[in-house]
Structure 1
Amino acid sequence: MKIAVVVYDKMTALDALGPYAVMAMLPGREISFVAAKAGPVVDDCGALAVTATRTFDDYRDPEIVIVPGGFVTRRMSIVGDPCIEWLREVHPRTQWTTSVCTGALLLGAAGLLKGLRATTHWVAYDELAAFGADPDHERVIVHPERRIITAAGVSAGIDMGLRLAQELAGDRVAQRIQLGMEYDPQPPFDAGSPLKAPPDLVEEMRTTLAESKRRLLADLTPKAAEN
């Protein structure tokens, strides 16, 4: 089973590595990190590098595609990125095309979410809707008829990975993976969703994330101009 995890500079690492950890425990899997060019890509914290071993040009037949998010996906989805055309090309032949967090914006830019109920990080619902999707708060949304799965923000990638494992290998295998990972969330606070967190905390986090997005995009603008 050929699994492609899309990677790019300034991605959110857990978006990719959460589902990767699940997929790595599937029998018969062949996982590749895929990018516009081979080599290391650095996450949005600037401290972790993941090495892309395949490129979009040389990998045209993945069976499973996983697209992580990050603040930079806003810019990628608007100005265009090589992964968007690659997604358009390979999706008709995949078993499943999936996203985590704002990776959904790249699926949207590729035209894969038009008319579909889909999810992403809660601060990006309006941007997702601009691509013709119907944003929803659900943590993982599965469309078997379109072979698409979208997951909410960051940590939801593990849930998505387990749901994908269920589709690929059945309940028992997915449960074994969950047990092997000891994935049994019991967070210290019930504040992991804007539907549950105190309203003032939601607004505080919205402001913080907006400022982080602004700084990141400002840092990227000069590089974009050079290219």
Structure 2
Amino acid sequence: MSAFPAHWHGSERISLLVYPGFTALDLVGPQYMLAGLMGAKLQLVAKTREPVRSDTGLVVVPDVSFEDSFERPDILFVPGGGQGTLDAMRDARTVAYVRERGRAAGQQVSVCTGSLLLGMAGLLKGRRATSHWITHGVLADLGAQPVHERVVADGPLLTGAGVSAGLDLGLALVAQRRDRLYAESLQLLAEYAPEPPFQAGRPDTAPPQARALMETMMRGLVAEMRSEATRAQ
């Protein structure tokens, strides 16, 4: 007899997309939490099974290619990135994969600019969603209703804000799939109790100079993303 409640054991099939230039923390934080789901089967999915390099140089090895991934995953997870996400938005095979598997999935999940790929696949129209704060305009271009919250749920759609929000999203998803105590136990195991040295993690709390710097640095990339989003409509 198991020492755990029966509903703590599941059988979810979870596909986690990776593509060149994805942001490693977008993937690794949620993947850690989802890997804690007893009974779940996780697979890293890419266009091919060749190693994939993140935007910071971390290399991951996919488990399966697009063609060999779960046909009807319970969860399709999409991480974000910068230039890598823009390139993926322009890649017909990647967008087609997200569209096909996203429609077949029980739940569509993203962190940061990963929601833009869901939008390019036509999965956000009229839906409440979030992304990195600097790309909320792109969400609107894709037909979504941008929400300035850390984690946003709209039916089977679950989206997280920028990068570090993936940890919060992962815990929220674990609580959905099991229960609060399960998620709290996993949070304790991870010792996830952030105490950042600065309060600059949101545009409304960051120094104006920091926000202006980020907006200047990202202006060109965001403009290109908006162009792709407009073209896709």
Q: Same fold (TM over 0.5)?
A: yes
Is residue 213 of structure 2 the alignment partner of residue 204 of structure 1? yes
Is residue 50 of structure 2 the alignment partner of residue 39 of structure 1? yes
Aligned length: 210
Structure 1 letter corresponding to 2:62? A
CA distance in 2, matches of 1:38, 1:66: 18
**Counterpart residue number, 1:52:** 62
Given that 2:130 and 2:161 are in contact with CA atoms closer than 8 Å, whether structure 1 keeps it comes out as: yes
The 3-state SS of whatever aligns with 1:57 is helix
CA shift at 1:130, angstroms?
0.9
Given that 1:39 and 1:53 are in contact with CA atoms closer than 8 Å, whether structure 2 keeps it comes out as: no
CA distance in 1, matches of 2:18, 2:100: 17
CA shift at 1:75, angstroms?
3.5
The 3-state SS of whatever aligns with 1:106 is helix
Alignment of 1:60-79 (within 5 A): 60-71=71-82, 72-77=84-89, 79=90
CA shift at 1:88, angstroms?
1.9
CA shift at 1:74, angstroms?
2.4
CA distance in 2, matches of 1:130, 1:92: 20
CA distance in 1, matches of 2:138, 2:184: 34
**Counterpart residue number, 2:230:** none
CA distance in 1, matches of 2:116, 2:36: 28
Alignment of 1:147-166 (within 5 A): 147-166=156-175
CA shift at 1:139, angstroms?
0.6
Structure 1 letter corresponding to 2:64? R
After superposition, the CA RMSD in angstroms is 1.6
Pick one of 136, 144, 167 that aligns with 1:133. 144
CA shift at 1:158, angstroms?
0.7
Q: Which runs of 4+ in 1 moved over 4 A?
A: none
CA distance in 2, matches of 1:8, 1:26: 24
Matched-pair identity in %: 41
Q: Give unpaired runs (5+ residues) of structure 1.
A: 218-227
Given that 2:128 and 2:153 are in contact with CA atoms closer than 8 Å, whether structure 1 keeps it comes out as: no
Is residue 198 of structure 2 the alignment partner of residue 189 of structure 1? yes
Pick one of 177, 180, 200 that aligns with 2:186. 177
CA distance in 1, matches of 2:218, 2:74: 34
CA distance in 1, matches of 2:102, 2:113: 18
Q: Give unpaired runs (5+ residues) of structure 2.
A: 1-11, 226-233
CA distance in 2, matches of 1:114, 1:185: 34
Q: Please list the CA deviations of residues 110-137 of structure 1 after superposition, one character each: whole Å capped at 9, or x if unmatched.
A: 1111011211001111111111011121
CA shift at 1:87, angstroms?
2.1
What TM-score does the superposition give when structure 1 sets the normalisation length? 0.88
